[in-house]
Each structure stands twice: as structure tokens, then as C-alpha cells.
Amino acid sequence: MPNTIHHQILIIGGGSAGISVAARLRRKGCEDVGLIEPSEKHYYQPLWTLVGAGLASAQETVRSEASVIPKGVAWIKDAATDIDPEQKVVTTATGTRISYDRLVVCPGIQLDWERIPGTAEALATPSVSSNYDLELAPKTWDLIQKTRRGTAVFAMPSGPIKCAGAPQKIAYLAADYWRQQGVLQDIHVVLVLPTPGMFGVPEFAKELERVVADYGIDVRFTSEVTEIDAPGRCVTITDNAAGTTSRLDFDMLHIVPPQSAPDWLKNTPLAGADVPGHYVEVDKHTLQHMRYPDVFALGDAGSTPNSKTGAAIRKQAPVVAQNVVASLQGKPLTGSYSGYASCPLTTARDKMLLAEFDYTMKPTPSFPVIDTTVSRKDMWYLKRHGLPLMYWNLMLTGRA
């Protein structure tokens, strides 16, 4: 075939998932690993919330992609545009065809900004920002500092998103700042959540109910922002349970876009037609594709019903590496993912609630000796300093 190259194991996406899996495969002795990744930069997105709160710099969340790709992995600096799982070939934007024996799909999630009409116009105004775009996260901090009175709206969309805690974390960091500045009582803080409660795990929901009551935050449950009128500085809020809409004027707005699998991926046979968001349809324990056994997926692009976080990937990557190797050797797949995810919920500018849970939706603490169902100062240091160190030095090198 003209213009075709081959890798025994081909990975799509060099983000948190792709690099972690590549490193683990190399450690297991896999010699022919190819990685398709178009970007020159690699991002540690969990710190973007702190960039938006003025507690971390944008620069410290970025490193060159070249510096994180494990030695011996062939970097194909291109974007995947199609997958033919019958022929076992991936096509890229430059027209290269790459055949594989095993494929690992992890190109992340797509931000569907246009699904909330008015968002693009609103983000161009001084009153609206989003930590989901690193270019905009410093603007969130500017906005928080400039807001001294009026209404501040923090909104979360419905459907699976990456780090479902991030839309509320920034509200708490802002409210704590306003309290320090002595202006919290002059600001009507509104948190718009599509869920019926603060969190899916009752133990953590209880603590978050305490946090919102403490800041006096007005929470609108089962609701989402469905339109932004940028010039009028007004949002339309739809209550999906009541079937009603209302309008709310704002002075500042933090918006999070609805999300789904990347469009090109939705159009491949790997996408789950019945999976909301059309993510790659894999078994929730083995992470092997439901119809194409040579294909595995993890991270934000996978269909597993866990919380889409880097913390989940830390537990998924060893499972994928183990099962890919077993499958190449014709052995049964023994690696099994429990659904573990963690959400480090920054409830104040020096406190964090480390919500860890799995498919059972029960707390699964990594530090059983301490009570992680309440906000803690030691956990804040873990989030601010410990987890980034662990990410760059241990997770991306396949050691944790």
C-alpha cells in the first residue's frame, strides 16, 4: 500500500492517557510503539482551575510534547482523521495510512461551545470566561478580582464532561477570595448544576452542601445555561426537571461547554451509537472495544461510566498496557479497571475535599487513616504541589 507505515501498537493521542500508556508499554518491553499526536505542547489541565483562581501560572501547566514522549516511542506528528477497524488502518490529516496490530484510542474530548448559543460572542466580552481554555483561564482570575458586587454565575452543562467538579471548584475559590476581600455579602453567587444534588456520592455531597451554605451560594439544581445574551449580560437557565426557563442578569459568568467525543471519531465504527456523547465503546473493566478486540480506549474519549479525570487515567493506563500485551500474546485479559476516579474539590483557597470513588459510588480513599470526606488543608498541598509532581515525574513515566 502506498504511503502506509506499520506499528505493532499504535496510540492515538499523546495527552495524559496516551503518554501514560506508552510509558507503561515501553516498561513492559514493547519495542514497536507509534504515537499519533499533532500538538507540540502537553498540558496538565487539573491546574487550570488554580490558574483561573490566581493560584498557579499558566506556564507551569505546559511542557513540550517532545519532553514527555517516552524514549523509543515513534512520534507521528499528525492528527488521526479516520479509523478502519476492519482493515486495522488509521488515516491521518496528511493522508498517511498507519496499520496496527493493536490500537489504543485516547484523543481526549471535544468542547462543544456552539451548543450554548451566544457563547463565542460572550467569551469575547470582558464579563465572561472559562477555565476550560487555557488562553481564557487568566481572564477568569481578572474577572474575579474586578467583581466587587452584583451577580456572579458559575454554570455546568449536562452530559459527561471532563472533571465534573471543575465548574463548582472555581465558584468556591472565587467566593473565598470575595470573603477575604470583604465583598462576598455584596455578590449574589449563583451555581447552575444539571444534577439533582451537589455530588453523586452522598458522603461528599454532604460536605459540599455545608460549603455552599457557608458561602451563601444560590444553587440551581437540575438546571443548565441554555443561551447567553452577551450584549445584554443575561443568561437563559433551563430547569430540565420542571421544564421551565428563566432569565438571569449577570455581572460575571464562568461557563463550561457541553462535551462529546471528537466529531471525526463519532463517525468511525468505534463510536457507540447508543452511548451518550458517542464515545469509543469499550468494556468498562477490560477497556477493550466491544466489537473490535484489537482496539482499546481510555481517558476522556472512552465510554466507561467513570468520572472523566486524570485520576481515572492513572488507574486505567496499567490495565490497558497489561491487556494489550496479554492480547498480543493470545492470553486472557486479566487487567480490570474498577471505575476509580478522584475529584480534588478545592472548597477554599487553602482547603480541598479529595473525593475518591469507583463504580460502586462509595468513597474509596487512598489514605484510609485520614478522614477525606471533609475539606482539609493537607489535601490542598497535595493538589497544589503533590499531584503535579506526581503527574510529571511518576504518572507520565509509567511509575504511578
Ligand X SMILES: Cc1cc2nc3c(=O)[nH]c(=O)nc-3n(C[C@H](O)[C@H](O)[C@H](O)COP(=O)(O)OP(=O)(O)OC[C@H]3O[C@@H](n4cnc5c(N)ncnc54)[C@H](O)[C@@H]3O)c2cc1C
Triad 218, 257, 337: Cα angle to 5°: 95
Q: Quick one: 150 or 318, whose CB is closer to ligand X?
A: 318
Q: Quick one: 49 or 151, whose CB is closer to ligand X?
A: 49
The single residue among 7, 9, 10, 13 that binds ligand X, judged by CB under 6 A, is 13
Q: How far is the CB of 232 from ligand X (least distance, A)?
A: 27
Site for ligand X in 161-200 (CB under 6 A): 162-163, 166
CB 356 within 8 A of CB 322: no
Q: Quick one: 14 or 248, whose CB is closer to ligand X?
A: 14
Return the SS3 of 31: coil
Number of residue whose CB is nearest ligand X: 15
The single residue among 309, 316, 347, 373 that binds ligand X, judged by CB under 6 A, is 309
The single residue among 7, 9, 10, 15 that binds ligand X, judged by CB under 6 A, is 15
Number of H helices, E strands in the chain: 11, 21
Annotation says 106 is catalytic: no
Site string for ligand X, 259-298 (x = CB under 6 A): ---x------------------------------------
- Would you say how long the chain is, in residues? 400
Contact status: 54 vs ligand X (CB under 6 A): no
Contact status: 156 vs ligand X (CB under 6 A): no
The dihedral formed by the CA atoms of 283, 18, 314 and 267, expressed in degrees to the nearest 10 = -40
Q: How far is the CB of 186 from ligand X (least distance, A)?
A: 27
Exposed / middle / buried, residue 40 (Cβ in 10 Å: 0-12, 13-18, 19+): exposed
- Going by DSSP bridges, is the β-strand pair 252-254/128-129 parallel, antiparallel, or unpaired? parallel
Could you tell me the three cell numbers for 23? 510509558
The single residue among 107, 257, 335, 388 that binds ligand X, judged by CB under 6 A, is 107
Dihedral-angle region of residue 297 (phi above 0 means left; psi in -120 to 50 means alpha; beta otherwise): beta
Annotation says 234 is catalytic: no
Helix or strand (DSSP H, E) at 181? helix 166-181
* β-sheet bridge partners, residue 154: 191, 254
Q: Quick one: 186 or 263, whose CB is closer to ligand X?
A: 263
Contact status: 379 vs ligand X (CB under 6 A): no
DSSP class of residue 344 equals: E
Contact status: 49 vs ligand X (CB under 6 A): yes
The single residue among 33, 36, 275, 320 that binds ligand X, judged by CB under 6 A, is 36
Contact status: 69 vs ligand X (CB under 6 A): no
- Going by DSSP bridges, is the β-strand pair 74-76/62-64 parallel, antiparallel, or unpaired? unpaired
* β-sheet bridge partners, residue 103: 10, 295
- Residues taking part in catalysis: 163, 343
Binding region for ligand X (CB under 6 A): 12-18, 36-39, 45-46, 48-49, 79-80, 106-108, 131-132, 162-163, 166, 262, 299-301, 308-311, 313, 344
